[in-house]
Amino acid sequence: MAKTKQSKAASVPLSSLLRVPSGPVSMADFDPAATPGFPGRDKDDAPAALESLTSELSDLQERLYAHGRSDAEHARSVLVVLQGMDTSGKGGVIRHAIGLVDPQGVQLKSFKAPTAEERAQHYLWRIRKALPSGGMIGIFDRSHYEDVLVVRVESLVPESEWSRRYDELNAFEAEVAASGTTIVKCMLNVSFEEQLARLKARLDDPTKYWKYNPGDLDARAKWPAYMEAYAAALERCNTDIAPWYVIPADRKWYRNWAVAELLRETLAGLDVDWPKADFDVAAEKVRLAAAG
């Protein structure tokens, strides 16, 4: 990847290009096949684009981790929330973008339909338990947003209940941010047509059967209701401390690069320094030399 291309693209941060604007949101306003900010021409340039992020990403992640280890009281952490319709590529992003950093610094949690134990609690109970600890990058594969997405579309609780949740989510995220966690929310935006192609591919390939869930077709049948629910979540929970980004997801190579770059920008923005030695470096050098 040519250096100049990278620095040119970096002049407008990807976070500004993908941030959901404030005001009314309609999913029709977002192009799932777009590639804003990509520092290359097309898919052929994608491996190099991703590769060029790797060393900075691992360096930044290690700093965050080291800082968390050395100063637990002021430890920072990052929470990446991944939401999207089936086949939008939450798993692919975790493998190809998050996979660029040391797995020891990553806390991954996938949220499925709540268990009986979880259902007996407030819906944020299981979310709080999964928040990243100091120095860690937390990844939510689905999240508290399911409680205003599938729950709203499927009327799993009455409207009077889910409609209160947007404010509750904002308050919750404000609390999480205040405790030192930087929140990055990514909606992986796959088109209706591309989802069909991906579901077909799953049915045509025995090595992909495991990814296919007959229930996915039920959600697909309610696509407009899901888009409305996404738009509401993106509109009502798009605060500066917990912003929403819409990641065009029809091109897997762009999607993976975009999330990796957003993570890089986020980590760089934390401006975390390597911890200072809490011992006398010169004296230790002398001791080591003496120890031979």
Residue 148 engages ligand AMP in binding (rule: CB under 6 A): no
Residue 141 engages Mg ion in binding (rule: CB under 5 A): no
Residue 41: DSSP 8-state: S
- For residue 197, the minimal CB distance to Mg ion (Å) is 16
Residue 151 engages ligand AMP in binding (rule: CB under 6 A): yes
Residue 221 engages ligand AMP in binding (rule: CB under 6 A): no
Residue 150 engages ligand AMP in binding (rule: CB under 6 A): yes
HSE value, Cβ hemisphere, 13 Å, CA-based, for 115: 6
* Interface residue with ligand AMP, options 13, 36, 99, 114 (CB under 6 A): 114
* Interface residue with ligand AMP, options 112, 155, 283, 288 (CB under 6 A): 112
Residue 86 engages Mg ion in binding (rule: CB under 5 A): yes
* Interface residue with ligand AMP, options 6, 48, 111, 228 (CB under 6 A): 111
The residue (of 10 and 124) whose beta carbon lies closer to ligand AMP is 124
Residue 261 engages Mg ion in binding (rule: CB under 5 A): no
Pair type for strands 106-110 and 77-84: unpaired
Q: Considering only 4-12, 27-35, 57-65, 148-156, which stretch makes contact with ligand AMP by CB under 6 A?
A: 148-156
Give residue 171's identity as a one-letter amino acid code: A
248: left (phi over 0), alpha (psi -120 to 50) or beta: beta
Picked from Mg ion, ligand AMP, none, the partner binding residue 147 (CB below 5 to 8 A depending on kind) is ligand AMP
- For residue 84, the minimal CB distance to ligand AMP (Å) is 9
Q: Considering only 34-42, 94-102, 149-157, 275-283, which stretch makes contact with ligand AMP by CB under 6 A?
A: 149-157
Residue 113 engages ligand AMP in binding (rule: CB under 6 A): yes
* Helix residue ranges per DSSP H, 131-241: 150-153, 159-162, 165-178, 192-204, 215-221, 223-236
Pair type for strands 181-189 and 137-141: unpaired
Point out which residues bind ligand AMP (CB under 6 A): 86, 111-114, 142, 146-147, 150-151, 156
